[in-house]
Amino acid sequence: MNEERSQDLLAVDNLRVCFHTRNGTTVAVDDMSFRLQPGQVLGIVGESGSGKSVACHSLLGLIPSPPGKVEAGSARLKGEDLLRMSEKQLRNVRGNRIGMIFQDPMTSLNPYMKVGAQLVEPLRRHRAASAKEARAKAIAALGEVGIKNPEQRIDDYPHQFSGGMRQRVMIAMALMTEPEILIADEPTTALDVTVQAQILQLIKKIQASHGMAVIFITHDLAVAADMADHMLVMEKGVVVEQGPPEQIFKGHQHPYTKKLIDAIPTSSKPPSGAPRKLEQLVQVNHLRTSFSVDRHTQVHAVNDITLDVRRGEILGLVGESGSGKSTLGRSIIRLIESQSGEVLIDGVDLYQLGTNKLKRARRDFQMIFQDPYASLNPRMTVFDTLAEPLLIHGIAKRDTLTEQINQLMDDVGLDRTSARKYPHEFSGGQRQRIAIARALAPRPKLIIADEPVSALDVTIQAQILKLLLKLTEKHDLTMLFISHDLSVVRYIADRVAVMQQGQLVELASTETLFQQPQHPYTQALLSAIPRVEL
């Protein structure tokens, strides 16, 4: 492993990174070794906390230190060890010989600087280019990443670009100095699926035309398989498997890789044994919700939507960001007030109920939120969190409370003994289980689940999806499952509704929708999903 091959662009050997905190030492990356050849795309895959980002950031001295510390190893960029470089030497590498793209294009550009000024910065700094030269180069780079009218757009501020466009600007910025290596840290995670497909295409094209080496960090196996020539699978700071994608997928030996691959929702929902009822639970008629942006402009987030949710079914609601799917979910249960239309739940129009009646009616429809870190009150124990809905709606008496809470915790697969703990003591997946238990507590008829698995790692996601399926069956629940992720929806939903710009473009049974999408937008969405060919 240690013999140096002359064609290695980057040779990392036995890298070990630790974080020393007051709660002890965490080994973030342990004994990591890999080679990167010029023009190669290396995919690093792992779940959150696997050390994939830390490893790459530590190469450029970008980990917060303290508490982070590179304890051992070497990383030779054409023979020069990055880990032994001074801060000054490293500055000549960063943004010059190694470029970086980050996950969130919304925050990685300075909102107070025109994009042009940000683009020319690395060039002026590293190559001492003249202002005119740099500007010409920046315009060319913007054109190359597919931004129209680069001569004009160069003088725009970041907020004038959409998320996908900003990621293109970030890529243009990384390209300015013609780096030998491009590190892309989850570059498409924050983007919609159609935009993600475009950005992946762009990175591939640029990689080929510049002959750059790319380190592509992602949690998404399908994306990695699509992009990489060579893959590393990381678990808890250790590289458990590496090789070309075919080998990883076909000949996977390591149990963790297998677990990751199995967790990808590929199949559709197993048909349930119970005969499907066609009775409606929810009927939404001509619902309209709009927000005023200012005095003259209104955004119609939900624009004349009519749909029904049948008793006992899981209705998937998909759409890209800004399509109004979350607003629709919240409008149905009056967390956001609609301007017109009606929502009948069991025949009762929610929009005709007074404040007090509505409060009482709320026990019938509950919500599960996307971010389990934000949706639980950090100052209430699990017990208190679950007790609240039970007591408010008079479902439990003081003496039966503990028993009922225990049952809820069993239902969602939480350990009974942890009832007195606070949310911050649980992992993301466990927190989502608490949130699910809270939604189940008042024994609702309808659950609105707004992206309930989007913030979770893929293996956890698979567990939570299974849990949701089990619970809907057991408690005879009806669910509106909102998601941007089509494969997840395919796995869980009986029928799927597709939204685009506030309108419902298609509603069909899951099978029909995935086999024969009718609307062009649905077709575009489906073709953009990165797939693993097995």
Partner 1 sequence: MQRITEQTATEPVLEEGSSLTRDAMHRLFKNRLALVSAGFLLLLILVALLTPWIAPYAYQDQNLLLGASSPSAQHWLGTDTLGRDQLTRILYGTRVSLMVGFVATAVALGIGVLWGATAGYLGGRVDNAMMRIVDVLYALPFAIFIILLTVIFGSSMLLLFLAIGAVEWLTMARIVRGQVLTIKRQEYIEAAIAMGLSRWRIIRRHVIPNAVGPIIVYTTLTIPSVILLESFLSFLGLGIQPPQSSWGSLISDGVENMENYPWMLIFPALTLSVTLFALNFLGDGLRDALDPRASKD
Interacting residue ranges for partner 1, rule: CB under 8 A: 23-24, 26, 333, 335, 358-363, 365-367, 369-371, 374-381, 388-389, 392-393, 415-422, 424-425, 435, 438, 442
Asked whether the beta carbons of 266 and 464 are under 8 A apart, the reply is no
Q: Compute the least distance from the CB of residue 192 to partner 1, in Å.
A: 22
Backbone angles phi, psi at 452, to 5 degrees: -70, -15
Q: Compute the least distance from the CB of residue 30 to partner 1, in Å.
A: 17
Residue whose CB is less far from partner 1, 159 or 360: 360
Q: Compute the least distance from the CB of residue 300 to partner 1, in Å.
A: 22
Asked whether the beta carbons of 205 and 175 are under 8 A apart, the reply is no
Tokens of 315: 């209705």
Q: Compute the least distance from the CB of residue 29 to partner 1, in Å.
A: 17
The closest of 82, 94, 106, 90 to 12, measured between CA atoms, is 82
d(CA 99, CA 171): 9
d(CA 461, CA 397): 34
d(CA 151, CA 471): 56
Give the contacts of 248 (CB within 8 A, at least 6 positions apart). 225, 231, 233, 241, 242, 257
Residue whose CB is less far from partner 1, 36 or 376: 376
What DSSP state is assigned to residue 335?
A: S
* 325 CB-side CA count, 13 A: 25
Separation in Å, CA 33 to CA 14, 15, 28, 48: 5, 7, 14, 20
The closest of 259, 343, 355 to 47, measured between CA atoms, is 259
Residue whose CB is less far from partner 1, 241 or 450: 450
Question: DSSP of 373-427, one letter per residue?
Answer: TTSS-TTS-HHHHHHHHHHHTT---HHHHHHHHHHHHHHTT--GGGGG--GGGS-
Residue whose CB is less far from partner 1, 228 or 434: 434
Residue whose CB is less far from partner 1, 158 or 389: 389
Q: Compute the least distance from the CB of residue 25 to partner 1, in Å.
A: 11
d(CA 190, CA 220): 12
Q: Compute the least distance from the CB of residue 367 to partner 1, in Å.
A: 4
Q: Compute the least distance from the CB of residue 302 to partner 1, in Å.
A: 17
Sheet containing 41-46: give its strands across: 98-101, 181-185, 213-218, 41-46, 230-235, 238-243
Tokens of 186: 């989850």
Q: Compute the least distance from the CB of residue 129 to partner 1, in Å.
A: 40
Question: DSSP of 25-45, one letter per residue?
Answer: EEEEEEEEEEEE-TT-EEEEE
Report the amino acid identity of residue 126: H
Residue whose CB is less far from partner 1, 324 or 329: 329
Q: Compute the least distance from the CB of residue 419 to partner 1, in Å.
A: 6
Separation in Å, CA 487 to CA 105, 205, 396, 402, 526: 24, 26, 38, 38, 9
Task: Determine the distance from the C-alpha atom of residue 64 to the mean position of all C-alpha atoms in its chain, rounded to a whole number.
Answer: 24
Q: Compute the least distance from the CB of residue 19 to partner 1, in Å.
A: 10
Q: Compute the least distance from the CB of residue 418 to partner 1, in Å.
A: 6
